[in-house]
Amino acid sequence: IRNIFMENPNYYGVKDIFQYFKANINFIPVDEKGMRTDMIPAIKNGIVYATPSRQFPLGYTMSIDRRLDLLSKAKKQNLIILEDDFDSDYRYNGEPISSLQGYDTDERVIYTGTFSKVLYSGIRLGYCILPEKFLSEFQKLRSTVNQPPSSLTRSIIADFMRSGKFHKHIRKMHRIYKERKDFMEKEIARELGDILDLQLCSSGLHMHAYFKNEVSRENLKASFKKHKIEIFLLSDYFTGRPEREALIFGFAAFDEGRSRHAVKILKKALQESF
């Protein structure tokens, strides 16, 4: 399969893999309802890489009508959908949303996720739920690409989940992350409200804010480097140039003190970049 359909913006790590294998990548625009499924070309036989639960990096949730449209196109065009659910475990507004795979009745969705967000990044352990018809080929490929994670690590996580402590951990961290999210949103609005247009963060561990005025990517990068700020721009994940530049930044590691300090440094860096 050489035809790939993926969101724009997107996670460059996945894009780099597709480009390495010289795939024909079709970049599909994104709006507040997720991937613009109406703009998927009528090309048969391919893979759709999507983040419907929480679009990366903009955080939008794909609407129900677009999910159904994507599944319909997958059936008509003989497409396989690779659903990457990387950090939707923490949802702060509304009810939990079913995965795209939950709507799949034609065995076309491969659902993937990771424990790196809900536990800790160093665990390097993910999971994949796929139709049985793909299982044998997947197992061959998995053993060819690299070695599986430690059996000890997998056993510990399995016991952790069976004991009920995993869900207790999720509930605890959900409360902590929501408090940190709410506080950073207030700090951004108070300190940078005249510079940034902060967008609603309904789930996950990062948020984004559009610049209200035109900015220089080069000046921003230089100022961030000067002030030793590790932060991403929307253009880092965009193929082409976004209509509006934005900051992409996490909040999970910042308690109130660190959040307040970080926003002040960011404000100084932004002011010096203009």
> pLDDT per residue over 232-258, tens digit each?
999 999 999 999 999 999 999 999 999
Q: Tens digit of pLDDT for each residue in 116-174? A: 889 988 888 889 999 999 999 988 888 777 777 788 999 999 999 999 999 999 999 99
CA dihedral 40, 43, 47, 52 (to 10 degrees): 20
User: How confident is the model at residue 74, as a pLDDT?
Assistant: 97
Mean pLDDT of the chain: 94
Query: Cα(120)–Cα(250) distance, rounded to whole angstroms?
Result: 14
Are the CB atoms for 154 and 123 separated by under 8 Å? no
Residue 237: name the closest of 14, 67, 2 by CA: 14
Q: Tens digit of pLDDT for each residue in 18-68? A: 999 999 999 999 999 999 999 999 999 999 999 999 999 999 999 999 999
Residue 14: name the closest of 31, 27, 29 by CA: 27
Query: Cα(182)–Cα(87) distance, rounded to whole angstroms?
Result: 18
Q: Which residue has the tokens 């590790």?
A: 230
Q: Which residues of 198-215 are buried (b: 16+ CB within 10 A; e: fewer)?
A: bbebbbbbbbbbebeeeb
Residue 73: name the closest of 17, 3, 143 by CA: 3
- Alpha helices for the chain (secondary structure H): 12-20, 64-77, 132-145, 151-162, 165-192, 217-226, 256-273
Q: Is the pTM of this model over 0.85?
A: yes
Query: Cα(53)–Cα(94) distance, rounded to whole angstroms?
Result: 13
